[in-house]
Amino acid sequence: MYNIGLFVACLNGNRFVTASSDLIRAKLPTRYGEFFISVRADAPSERAHVALSMGDLSQGSAPLVRLHSECLTGDALHSLRCDCGFQLEAALSMIAGEQRGVLLYLRQEGRGIGLANKLRAYALQDQGLDTVEANEQLGFGADLREYHEAVTLLKQLGVSEVRLMTNNPRKVQALNDAGIKVVERVPMRFGANPHNERYLAVKTNKLGHLL
């Protein structure tokens, strides 16, 4: 018998994504506890969005959820230029504290402009531009991220209501608009230091973050 879902496809960026794609799922023990790690079976091998989940998500109260945008420098290389690495660790620890929740690791490096362009932007910031001005000088908008695939992944994990861990009102709006109800916004203020002082100020003053 044909799976009708396989024929329900939508254009997402320049890739077709089927509505019925399965998730590949495996255990992932971490320093914070044991998560499950999942990717869509039809995701590209490189740069697939990743879900780290814990506990029963499809029943009970709204779980903690973090939409974490990839930041190689902050998440893996311990950079102090941003707050990403601190937020990543805090989010995993908070989810583990409740033994329930999801962190989506979204492959949207540099707010969607990619690593090389983010480093170009860093070089311009070293000359005095702020994060938004640097993006504009490179010909990009301030923030190119979109959250359709994140919404699809959350729905596949059985999540329909969330306590969203973010300071970014655009993420709250994106989920509410897509039918995933944000019942609470959980602030994520971690890792402020002299190297990211201006970066955090620009997020508040130019990007509307609630810091």
Ligand X SMILES: Nc1nc2c(ncn2[C@@H]2O[C@H](COP(=O)(O)OP(=O)(O)OP(=O)(O)O)[C@@H](O)[C@H]2O)c(=O)[nH]1
Residue owning tokens 């938004």: 132
Q: Is 64 in the site for ligand X (CB under 6 A)?
A: no
82 appears as a binding residue in the annotation: yes
| Footprint on residues 77-106 left by ligand X (CB under 6 A) | 82, 84, 87
Structure tokens of 148?
Answer: 């359709």
On whether the CB atoms of residues 203 and 209 are closer than 8 A, the answer is yes
- List of residues 6+ apart from 84 with CB closer than 8 A: 68, 69, 71, 73, 74, 75
Structure tokens of 29?
Answer: 């023990």
On whether the CB atoms of residues 69 and 108 are closer than 8 A, the answer is yes
10 appears as a binding residue in the annotation: no
Among 57, 67, 84, 200, binds Zn ion (CB under 5 A): 84
Q: Quick one: which segment of 3-11, 71-79, 86-94, 103-111 binds Zn ion (CB under 5 A)?
A: 71-79
Q: Is 118 in the site for ligand X (CB under 6 A)?
A: yes
Beta strands in the chain (DSSP E): 9-12, 15-18, 23-30, 33-40, 50-54, 64-69, 101-106, 161-165, 181-186
Q: Quick one: which segment of 10-18, 79-87, 158-166, 182-190 binds Zn ion (CB under 5 A)?
A: 79-87
Residue 145 catalytic?
yes
Residue 75 catalytic?
no
Q: Minimum distance from CB of 53 to ligand X (Å)?
A: 18
Q: Is 152 helix (H, G, I), strand (E, B) or coil?
A: helix
| Footprint on residues 120-159 left by ligand X (CB under 6 A) | 121, 131, 135
Extract the annotated binding site for Zn(2+).
71, 82, 84
Residues that bind Zn ion (CB under 5 A): 71, 74, 82, 84
Extract the annotated binding site.
66-71, 82, 84, 87, 109-111, 131, 166, 171
